[in-house]
Amino acid sequence: MTFDPQAASSSLLQNLNPEQLAAVTLPPKPALILAGAGSGKTRVLTTRIAWLIQTGQLYPGGVMAVTFTNKAAKEMLTRLGAMLPIPVRGMWIGTFHGLCNRFLRAHWKLAGLPQGFQILDSSDQLSAVKRVIKAMNLDEERYVPKQVTWFIAAQKEEGRRPPDVEVRDEQSRLMVQVYAGYEAQCQREGVVDFAELMLRVYELMRDNASLREHYQRRFRHILVDEFQDTNRLQYAWLKMFAGPETAVFAVGDDDQSIYAFRGAQVGNMAAFEREFHVEQVIKLERNYRSFGNILDAANELISRNQKRLGKNLRTEAGPGEPVRVHESPTDYAEAQWFVDEARQLHREGTPRSDIALLYRSNAQSRVMESALFNAGVPYKVYGGLRFFERAEVKHALSYLRLIENPNDDTSFLRVVNFPARGIGSRTLEQLQDAARASGRSLYQSVGALSGKGGNNLQAFVAKVDAMREATRGLTLREIIVHVLEASGLVDFYKTDKEGRERLENLEELVNAAEAFVTQEGFGKDAVALPIDEHGPGVFGGTAGRAEFNTPGAEAVEDGSSIEPARARPGLFDGAGGRSAPAHQGAGAAVPDGAAAALAATVTPDAETGEIMSPLAAFLTHASLEAGDNQAQAGQDAIQLMTVHSAKGLEFDCVFITGLEEGLFPHENSASDPEGLEEERRLMYVAITRARKRLYLSFSQTRMLHGQTRYNVKSRFFDELPESALRWITPKNQGFGSGYSREYQAAWSRGSGLGSIVGTGREPAPPPKPLVSAKPPAHGLRSGQSVFHTKFGEGVILTLEGAGDDARAQVNFGRHGTKWLALGVAKLTPVE
DNA sequence: GGCTACAGCATTTTT
DNA sequence: TGCTGTAGCC
């Protein structure tokens, strides 16, 4: 059977709608695709790659496709594998960090890293920063490790090294010193954090002209998923890889930008359109997921946002069911209602896994969990600790890391006394002092200590050394099994009363390693292919090497002048354009333009020729891919998660709960317009998760941080089209009816909607009296709804004082929470 | 050196 | 309300 590219490509393009087809078949130029929720963006992305290759416009090695999550990357690879008759290896498809890792594994020498460098996850990073702060004798009250960590990451994401950071006062001067100290420490230990992965690659590309030219020439097409989530460093990084001939295909949805708090710049979309001279923005607005009422709700809500590129989802699926709105007197009642409703849905045939409960913040899951638990309904909560973050797993990984790199002080400290072997904080402090004084690692400084502590330390080091010896030449599985035993971890957990589960997790670690070696083929990300291995290949692609402009010319061609050096060099806040200071220190180590010499910079192990040992590769994998959070295998369970983690997912039935002012929109965001717009986008994301049925729910009161809060329903209800909604709360239970009234247990929901009438369940219990205090003279009580002539309707949160001093704290929803003197303010009870 | 009591604090999260 | 981190005790 011969392969017919024409036929293949036409079958690829079948069933694409006109917009999708247009996007997939765009000429090789920078393109921006505004892909609405459920509009088939992953399909477009993968089909585009497949189409380019099948039509011979591109050889597989010329593709780079970047995502944010491992999940998305895997999905892309899987789909692509199904579309293309060739293995997908050789294509650079992965997360930003995964690709950076791949790059740095190939060019570790140029990047100034040790060959087996390891990657710090966020908790490693935090403890590393703590050590620096301690070493510098700084007050942890003033220099809060978490904040310092955040500061360092933020600087890196702005492209600033310590000398580039603007110093304003003593505080910031010291922060920068911590930053510098942290950098030195990481370098000494041979570790990099997540931001460092990105920044190293960026700097290497920026400063090494031949390397840059090489990669720019190699990647004819760069495709970026979730472009609205890119931060400044990622955008600058992309600009480094995008040569004048590179077609960058950016797919994103500004309405789904919900990560500003971690540095995402929605503005990158507009910047991209402008700086890359995108000629035509393609909008994918046809939605294949949800029914009309759901989309109407989403469209109407998001139209309230001022800063938008503008987009409107539409469907051909018909209006479907109305969006159901439910009000509860308490969070407890809300949970009960949810459990009943979800059970009913399940009884009617919806798989539990197609029922999702979404909430704004994790704290809200507790009530729901206990209600589900009590009812015996299987559920699964997303978020929380992931596999490789579990303490016992981290301990095991630390031993493994010490085998690979004894100078990893973070790992050293983690397990030096775990299981306990008589090495206390005093001994460790001495060791750290000695290490600091000599500028060596803890491991190297053990000899400097004498006495009992010193002996114990030496025994520890001897143990690790022995493990290294004993595991030489073993398979990855054997290495891990040996280390688990020899470290004493297994024995420790065998005797530990809660050790069972931990032992299981350690076994799971062995399995994970096994899977890593066999299924993934170890180090798929780590082993960079020889750089110029790829020719046009079997498809005889004509993607010839274009004539290359010099980087300087490229920057100028873009129409943006290179800005003069500023106080903060290497930054991306220039007027735009491919602002690479291309002239900076162009790769002394690499002869200009010589691809062969470049290949020589891919440095394999002198002895084995391996780019990376299986162990090192596995450790990298563990840092880069935190692993699923306990996949409770097989169980058909209701899905509980925050709105953030629901992004990218879809379910038949979605419940959005806790729709109350202060919670959603969150009080910390509602005060400024930007924050509120992000909250609104968050709500938009939540709504568009639903395929068939959507419930919106709120509660008058909620237990939060151990206190009952009285809430006003979310302003988002006012921003939804009334025509798409149906209130399923009995009328007299509605908001403003107060709490004195009996809880209406007649679950007369959704008459006319057919499917969910009557659960046959016992009526819900009447609510507990919410306010036990007897009403004082002014006749008001907390929890009561009141009306104020200026602020409108609100709910009394607190009452204080008496007589003329009587004051009330009132939550007026969007007007905020106010303290009012009852003698002055006119508050009318609402009933 | 290891364990227990209490204060302080508490969006959202991937890599 | 429930967890995390530290201080102080055995």
pLDDT digit string, tens, across residues A124-155: 899 899 888 888 888 877 888 888 999 999 99
C-beta within 7 A of nucleic chain B, residues 400-419 of A: 417
| pLDDT attached to residue A3 | 56
pTM of the model: 0.83
Residue A753 has pLDDT above 60, yes or no: no
pLDDT confidence of residue A581: 35
Q: What is the pLDDT of residue A782?
A: 75
Q: For residues A419-447, give the mean pLDDT.
A: 88
Instruction: Please determine, for residue A117, whether its predicted confidence score (pLDDT) is greater than 90.
Output: yes
**A125 plus A259 within the same structural domain:** no
pLDDT at A430 over 80: yes
Whether A705 CB is under 7 Å from strand C: yes
- Model pLDDT for residues A78-98, shown as the tens digit of each residue: 999 889 887 777 789 999 999
Close Cβ partners of A309 (under 8 Å, ≥ 6 residues apart): A34, A254, A269, A270, A281
- pLDDT, tens only, A212-262: 999 999 999 999 999 999 999 999 999 999 999 999 999 999 999 999 999
Distance A139 CA to B5 C1' (A): 25
Asked if residue A533 belongs to a domain, the reply is no
* Strand B lies under 7 A from the Cβ of residue A629: no
Residue A309 burial (CB count, 10 A): 17
Residue A308 forms part of a structural domain: no
Does residue A598 sit within a domain?
A: no
Q: Is A91 in the same domain as A203?
A: yes
- Left, alpha or beta for A729 (phi > 0: left; psi -120 to 50: alpha)? beta
Annotated binding site of A, which residues? 35-42
Residue A462 half-sphere exposure toward CB, CA atoms < 13 A? 8
Give nearest nucleotide to A150 (CA–C1'): B13
Give the nearest nucleotide to A645, CA to C1': B13
Q: A557-603, pLDDT tens digit by residue?
A: 222 222 333 333 334 443 333 333 333 333 333 333 344 444 444 54
**Comparison of pLDDT for A466 and A779, the residue scoring more:** A466
Percent of chain A exceeding pLDDT 90 equals 57
- Do residues A331 and A464 both lie within one domain? no
CATH number of the domain residue A421 falls in:
1.10.486.10
Domain end (from A462, A494, A519): A519
Q: Are residues A54 and A151 in the same domain?
A: no
**Summary mean pLDDT of chain A:** 82
Mean pLDDT along residues A299-313? 94
Residues flagged as binding site of A for ATP: 35-42
> Is the same domain home to A22 and A147?
no
Looking at the structure, tell me whether residues A362 and A249 fall in a common domain.
no
Buried-state track A69-105, b at ≥16 Cβ within 10 A, e below 16: ebebbebbbebbeebbebebebbbbbbbbbbbbbbbb
Lowest mean pLDDT among A31-40, A403-412, A800-809: A800-809
Say what the pLDDT of residue A643 is. Answer: 97
CB of residue A363 closer than 7 A to nucleic acid strand B?
yes
Q: What is the mean pLDDT of residues A707-732?
A: 90
Q: What's the CA angle centered on A594, arms A569 and A209, to 5 degrees?
A: 10
* Per-residue model confidence as pLDDT tens digits over A339-363: 999 999 999 999 999 999 999 999 9
Spacing of A142 CA from B4 C1' in Å: 28
Nucleotide nearest to A704 (CA to C1'): C1
In angstroms, how far is C9 C1' from A429 CA?
22
- Asked if residue A550 is part of any domain, the answer here is no
Find out whether A119 and A191 touch, Cβ atoms under 8 Å.
Answer: yes
Is residue A751 included in any domain, yes or no?
Answer: no
Q: What is the pLDDT of residues A523-561, one digit of tens each?
A: 444 333 333 333 332 232 223 322 222 232 222 222 222
Residue A422 CA, nucleotide C9 C1', distance (Å): 19
- The per-residue pLDDT for range A193-217, each reduced to its tens digit, is 999 999 999 999 999 999 999 999 9
Q: What is the pLDDT of residue A9?
A: 67
Cβ-based neighbour number of residue A580 at 10 Å: 24
C-alpha distances in angstroms, A578 versus A192, A239, A272, A775? 26, 6, 10, 68
Residue A446 lies in a domain: yes
Average pLDDT in the A464-484 region?
Answer: 95
A214 with A353, same domain?
A: no
At residue A235, the pLDDT reads 98
Note the pLDDT of residue A812: 81
Find the Å distance, CA of residue A186 to C1' of nucleotide B14.
21
Residue A432 CB lies within 7 Å of the nucleic strand B: no
Final residue in a domain of this structure, among A236, A266, A286? A286
Region A151-172 average pLDDT: 92
CATH classification of the domain holding A157: 1.10.10.160
Nearest CA to A246 out of A215, A216, A266, A275 is that of A216
Mean pLDDT of A379-401: 90
Both tokens of A340, joined, read 């009943």
CATH code of A669's domain: 3.40.50.300
Per the structure, the complete domain to which residue A162 belongs is given by 119-189
Within this chain, do residues A124 and A96 fall inside the same structural domain, yes or no? Answer: no
A457 and A508 within one domain: yes
Domain boundary residue among A235, A267, A286? A286
Protein-to-nucleotide distance from the CA of A750 to the C1' of C5, whole angstroms: 49
Residue A519, pLDDT score = 65
Whether A715 is in a domain gets the answer yes
Strand C, nucleotides covered by protein (CB < 7 Å): 1-2, 6
Closest CA to A579 of A820, A175, A240: A240
Q: What is the pLDDT of residue A568?
A: 36
Let me know whether A660 and A801 are in one domain. Answer: no
> Which A residues between 68 and 107 have a beta carbon under 7 A from any strand B atom?
68-71, 95, 97-98
Strand B and A626 CB separated by under 7 Å: yes
User: What would the two tokens of residue A597 be?
Assistant: 């010499």
Confidence class for position A520, pLDDT limits 50, 70, 90: low
A725 and A804 part of one domain: no
User: Does residue A752 lie within any of the structural domains?
Assistant: no
Backbone φ, ψ for residue A611 (5° rounding): -70, -35
Counting the structural domains of chain A, the total is: 5
Same domain, A364 and A399: no
